[in-house]
Amino acid sequence: MIVAGIDDISIYSPGFFYPLEDLARRHGVDPAKYIVGIGQERMAVPTPDEDIVSMAANAVAPLLVNEVREEISTVIFATESGIDQSKSAGLFVHGVLGLNPNCRVVEFKQACYSATAGIQLASDLVRQRPKEKVLVIASDIARYERNSEGECTQGAGAVAMIVAANPRLLEIHPQSGVFSFDVMDFWRPNHREAAYVNGKLSIDVYLRSLTEAWLDFQRKDGLPLTSIDKLCFHQPFTKMSKKAFGALREAAGAEADHLDEKSYAESQIYGRQIGNTYSASLYIGLSSLLDNCDEDLTGRSVGLFSYGSGSVGEFFSVSVVEGYRRRLRSHAHRALLARRREIDYETYVAWFYTSVKSTEDRISPMQTTGRYRFAAIAEQRRIYAEVDCARLGSLNAVA
């Protein structure tokens, strides 16, 4: 069988953040409720000239080296923050980055789960046609009503991955366990910018989905937990990993005795600084695990659980490939987060709650620190552009 998996991975998050400590004070609660209780420290805040497309383009750009650009045969864009009811967000990315025209481009949607559907399809495509590469992108802005319980989990970010034969980072195992059922724990009708969410129900459904997907994984001859060394869970907030680990230990019994909280701790590092990124969350967590784990993970297996409200859950596993550290973008990812600038409450509100989708023609002021930006709406058409390199350099120097 052709071995397929993740050959490269890159993340992007906006260059500005709002501290959860300040939001807690605004809400009249102890900051520990957010920083310790849900495990969030900072919220990534997109500028008015950033959206899922510009964030995606910024995540993809570092991957387009050597022969990769011409070998991409398929682009899969996963998001629940869609910008058009017909045209794939991936086509905007395809255009602004000048990707290979002999390429199929689609958009996937199923809450926070859809990037995993993209990864699984990409793996199957590569096993059929091993000379081709598939670009899988997940990009989202997690937005809730002001002063709601979900506001403290907001965030924004994107992840881009190249799925290829004989991967140099992670081999994706063909077995996976899945579980789906129709439930209204979280949803966002077409007319709304912010989602409706039943927080308690959503957590309960998440944990049930994890248990059922794990049991299905075992029925399908997936790895026993004794053969899994690290774990990575979907993180709507980073403390959810602790709840997920507890549910998995209960389902797996004695097989989980060799695992503890250290088995997933590194996967939480980036999420604490970014916030929820919906479809990108699991894979930003995976990148965090690879970038920040001091142990040599060569040949070791990682169990991953992907969840999307509504709901779909999937448990699958990957193996870390020899030489993986040479392929990591750890320095770039850490630098991306380190150079961000803090914004005040008024700026946060203006950017997160008044700079939302508009049908009016307008030019977006230049505020992003990213290489690609959402430049304008003209005659109902969204326009994206590459930032002048000299201007971008001066902005990042200040940051």
175, pLDDT greater than 90: yes
Task: Let me know if 234 is a catalytic residue.
Answer: yes
Residue with tokens 């990957």: 318
399, pLDDT greater than 70: no
Going through the chain in order, the beta strands assigned E by DSSP cover 4-12, 16-19, 42-44, 72-78, 104-108, 133-142, 155-165, 170-180, 186-187, 196-197, 230-233, 301-308, 312-320, 341-342, 362-363, 372-378, 381-386
Task: Let me know if 331 is a catalytic residue.
Answer: no
Domains and CATH numbers, the chain: 4-169+329-398 (3.40.47.10), 174-326 (3.40.47.10)
Residue with tokens 């604490």: 272
Residue 222 DSSP class: P
- Give me the catalytic one of 41, 234, 293, 314: 234
394, pLDDT greater than 70: no
pLDDT band at 194 (very low <50, low <70, confident <90, very high): confident
323, pLDDT greater than 70: yes
| 257-316 tens-digit pLDDT | 999 999 999 999 999 999 999 999 999 999 999 999 999 999 999 999 999 999 999 999
Predicted confidence at residue 358, as pLDDT, reads: 63
Residue with tokens 């969350």: 281
For 87-104, give one letter per residue: b (16+ CB within 10 A) or e: ebbbbbbbebbebeeebe
Task: Let me know if 103 is a catalytic residue.
Answer: no
Orientation angle between helical segments 240-252 and 199-219, nearest 10 degrees: 40
37, pLDDT greater than 50: yes
19, pLDDT greater than 90: yes
Distance CA 245, CA 257 (A): 12
395, pLDDT greater than 60: no
For residue 220, with 0-12 CB atoms within 10 Å meaning exposed, 13-18 middle and 19 or more buried, which class applies?
A: middle
Picking from 384, 304, 291, the residue whose alpha carbon sits closest to that of residue 336 is 291
The two structure tokens encoding residue 30 = 């102890």
Q: Residue range 148-170: average pLDDT?
A: 97
Predicted confidence at residue 389, as pLDDT, reads: 64
- Give me the catalytic one of 80, 107, 212, 266: 80
Q: Are 16 and 340 in contact (CB under 8 A)?
A: yes
- Give me the catalytic one of 41, 94, 107, 112: 112
Q: Residue range 82-95: average pLDDT?
A: 96
